[in-house]
Amino acid sequence: MNVEFFIAKRMLQNKKHSKSFSSAIVLISLIGIMLGVSVMILTVSVAVGFQTEIKNKLMSFGSHIQVESLYLNNNNETSPIITLQHNIDSISNENAIDGIYPYVLKSSIIQHVDGNKESEISGIVFKGVSQGNQTFLNQYVVQGVIPQFGYENDSILLSKNMTKKLKASVGDKISAFFIINGKPKQRNYFISGIYETGLDKIDDQFGFIDIKQLTKINKWGLTIKAKSFFTSDTTIEINCYTKSKEGEILYALEKEKITSLSSYIIDVKKDTNVTLVAYEVDNVESNNLISVPDTLIFNVNFNEKIITQNNTDGSGKFYTGGYEIMLTDLENDKNTLNSLKSYFGPEYLTLPIEKRFEDLFSWLSLIYQNVYIIILLMIAVAIVNMSTALLVLIVEKTKMIGILKSIGISNKSLIRVFVIHGGILLAIGFTVGNLIAYGIMFLQNKYQFLTLPKENYYIDAVPMHYPIEQFLALNGIAFIICFAALILPSLLSSRISPVKAISSEI
């Protein structure tokens, strides 16, 4: 093998070879291989970039996996899920899961009245989120700031297209109209920030709001409403005025029976805490719970005669419209999806993000089909270029082949000489091709000179990413295929007669 490699190397270093008619053909073949390799690398880079960028945008409106109740569920609104039914902490501790976050979807009509008293309205789906599942939005805010989700405020986040349609801007008041139990309810909010992902159809549909706002609007859960005060130095009175939507309210002081009483007189002689639990039932006879019971704690400061209330959020915190599940191991996402389906059961809709936005992911899969076609074509071009160069070299080196055969070199060794020679040229072509591709990727990511119409491609510049593992696999597979293809033209050298080759004028 060392002899064959030495001969192949000398063929490349031969000054006469560089002046021969084959040098131009070899150079053209090398350029073709370089360009082919560059095109393959750039194609994979752009395809991965498109998929990653679009998927990241979609993650602002979903997650890797979403879980919702099938009961009265539609695309624009979610049905209540009681979180106490699921051990979310145990699921979150699984290795494949990065986090689980609650969310609520609610349809609404929003209205803005501008300075000229002109009213603009639009339909929207509000997505109620907490502080954890809005991280992806940070990079898409173009004006203002993201509201402090999770701290129950009246700020909302709208898309750039939506604010244009409403003729609104950051800080403006927006009136939102919801349908609750068949009746319209109005709530006023302020635009805290404006976002733009480039996915216009989805941007036009979604606005973001604190999850507690939608939980209250939906009237999920129960909130005890009570007043407490000292009636004497050692006596406090608690009066409850909680109302039920569809049934009756029952109460129970700590360690006492459940009754329909709504007023209590309690003797106190020191600082103490009084716990009151409220139950919403369909009627007193059956006592079937309608919602999760609420607990209210009264902190009694005996010396200063002050009573404060704790745990005033109500049992709405135990409700959600669905779960957004972020994964760490995307390669085993199908196994995780099947595991979650088994855990939640058939009464829940467990969908990956690919199913939630099936149209966009179908479009992305078409891009990958084009990638495979381009790679196959570029490999075919590289094989043809290298085979042509080898055939020209064999024809040019006919006399040298005759001399080598006359001194005893075997046909196998002669074939290896030209295969190694072609392999060296391939290595040069692949190396330079990779360098060209990486240079273009670096310049594009820095200067973004290759632009795109955002309305068609959802992004304004060609995205180029660096999936190193895919690049290594592509280079390895393409090089092996091209290298193996060199054997066929190299067989021609073994069929040349030494006598005719030496006497040849070539």
> Residue 239's pLDDT is what?
93
User: Burial code of 168-187, b = ≥16 C-beta within 10 A, e = fewer?
Assistant: beeebebbbebeeeeeeeeb
> Residue 506's pLDDT is what?
44
* Kind and range of the H or E run holding 178: strand 173-180
- Say which range, 146-155, 264-273, 300-309, has the weakest mean pLDDT: 146-155
β-strands 206-210, 155-159 pairing: antiparallel
Enter the pTM of the model. 0.75
- Say which range, 52-66, 171-185, 461-475, 489-503, has the weakest mean pLDDT: 489-503
Report whether pLDDT(83) > 60.
yes
Nearest to 240 by CA among 183, 278, 292: 278
Confidence band (pLDDT; 50, 70, 90) for 462? confident
- Say which range, 152-156, 362-366, 436-440, 449-453, has the weakest mean pLDDT: 362-366
Confidence band (pLDDT; 50, 70, 90) for 437? very high
Report whether pLDDT(196) > 70.
yes
> Residue 494's pLDDT is what?
56
Distance CA 396, CA 20 (A): 9
- pLDDT mean over 167-193: 89
Distance CA 109, CA 156 (A): 14
Report whether pLDDT(238) > 70.
yes
- pLDDT mean over 13-20: 48
> What whole-number percentage of the chain has pLDDT above 70?
84
Three-state secondary-structure class, residue 226: strand
> Residue 477's pLDDT is what?
87
User: Burial code of 310-337, b = ≥16 C-beta within 10 A, e = fewer?
Assistant: eeeebbbbbbbbbbbbbbeeeeebeebb
Distance CA 433, CA 471 (A): 12
Q: Measured between alpha carbons, how far is residue 370 from residues 47, 52, 367, 373 in Å? A: 9, 17, 5, 5
Across the chain, mean pLDDT equals 81
Structure-block tokens of residue 402? 């005759």
Structure-block tokens of residue 31? 């350029």
| Residue 90 DSSP code | H
Alpha-carbon dihedral angle through residues 29, 34, 39, 41, given to the nearest 10 degrees: 140
Nearest to 225 by CA among 212, 236, 235, 239: 239
**How confident is the model over 20-77, as pLDDT tens digits?**
556 777 777 788 888 888 988 998 898 888 888 888 788 777 788 889 888 766 667 8
**Residues contacting 107, CB < 8 A, separation 6+:** 76, 77, 123, 124, 125, 126, 178, 179
**Residues contacting 414, CB < 8 A, separation 6+:** 401, 404, 405, 493, 494
Nearest to 399 by CA among 500, 495, 502: 502
**How confident is the model over 310-356, as pLDDT tens digits?**
887 888 889 999 998 888 877 777 888 888 888 888 888 888 888 88
> Residue 16's pLDDT is what?
47
| Residue 331 DSSP code | G
**How confident is the model over 95-135, as pLDDT tens digits?**
778 888 889 999 999 998 876 677 788 899 999 888 766 66
**How confident is the model over 386-422, as pLDDT tens digits?**
777 777 766 666 666 665 556 666 667 766 777 777 7
Confidence band (pLDDT; 50, 70, 90) for 18? very low
> Residue 431's pLDDT is what?
92
Contact 82, 94 (CB under 8 A): no
Confidence band (pLDDT; 50, 70, 90) for 300? very high
> Residue 492's pLDDT is what?
61
Tokens 């992004």 — which residue?
459
Report whether pLDDT(224) > 80.
yes
β-strands 226-232, 183-195 pairing: unpaired
Distance CA 31, CA 37 (A): 10
Q: Measured between alpha carbons, how far is residue 103 from residues 50, 68, 167, 290, 321 in Å? A: 27, 10, 28, 22, 6
| Residue 289 DSSP code | B
Three-state secondary-structure class, residue 215: helix
- Our CA angle for 377, 383, 387, nearest 5°, is 150
Report whether pLDDT(15) > 50.
no
Domain 226-313, classified CATH 2.60.40, yes or no: yes
Structural domain boundaries in the chain: 2-57+360-498, 65-220+319-348, 226-313
DSSP codes of every residue in 341-404: HHHH-TTEEEEEHHHHTHHHHHHHHHHHHHHHHHHHHHHHHHHHHHHHHHHHHHHHTHHHHHHH
